[in-house]
Amino acid sequence: MLSAAKKEFIEFMMSADVLRFGDFITKSGRNTPYFVNTGNYKTGLQSAKLGEFYAAFIKETIGDRFDAMFGPAYKGIPLVTTTAGALARLYQIDKPYFFNRKEAKDHGEGGNTVGYTPKDGDRIIIIEDVITAGTAIRETMPVLKGCADVTVTDMFISVNRCEVGKTPGKTAVMEVAEEFGIQVHALITVQDIYAYLKEQGTYGQVLGAMEAYMEQYCVFA
């Protein structure tokens, strides 16, 4: 069932040209008929609204049961920043956040993270855009474990593409859960996008391409 909140988020992404339809290649090298590029959010209002969507979802899912938020460079940086602001502003959940540099800084205070410095025992949540093949999370975990003896409990993403990862029959999200013990929560899934387009009645060609793509690459629990 496509909820009002999911429908609103899909329309928000489309209005910002973040959710696009056509012919694209994902980071994992797959040709896809739809693409999510959070780098296309470019106004203050879009950023604020995006943070509100994430904050509401986090509040509803885990409340304040975490110590800090991490945003992987680069797209996770504005995501974690706006989400932290919205959580504090709307729900009085004022939690620290931090993000990584792609290259370690060799002057000043040094290090490869910016913002909060994690401590042993911290429960960290990750704020990201999408998971396609799980490549980014495998790059992120060594960064977090290199900071302190932290536990990464949950990860919040815009879209679960429900695509098979490295193991046949398992999505990248399933693999992340098994490999790292992380619960991945998506504001919407590829099934939600498909249901929305079908409801509109004007996306016949895209629906056909999505059906073929999902049949080839997607796994639904």
Pick the catalytic residue: 42, 105, 119, 166? 105
Pick the catalytic residue: 107, 166, 170, 198? 107
Look at the block and give the residue holding tokens 């509040």: 59
Cα–Cα distance, 177 to 183 (Å, whole number): 6
For the question of residue 105 being annotated catalytic, the response is: yes
For the question of residue 145 being annotated catalytic, the response is: no
Q: Could you tell me where the DSSP H helices lie in 38-75?
A: 44-61
Angle between helices 4-15 and 190-200 (to 10 degrees): 80
Q: DSSP assignment of 17-37, as one string?
A: T-EEEEEEE-TTS-EEEEEE-
**How are beta strands 111-115 and 97-105 bridged, if at all?**
antiparallel
Burial of 37 (0-12, 13-18, 19+ CB in 10 A): middle
Cα–Cα distance, 170 to 54 (Å, whole number): 26
Residues tagged active-site: 105, 107
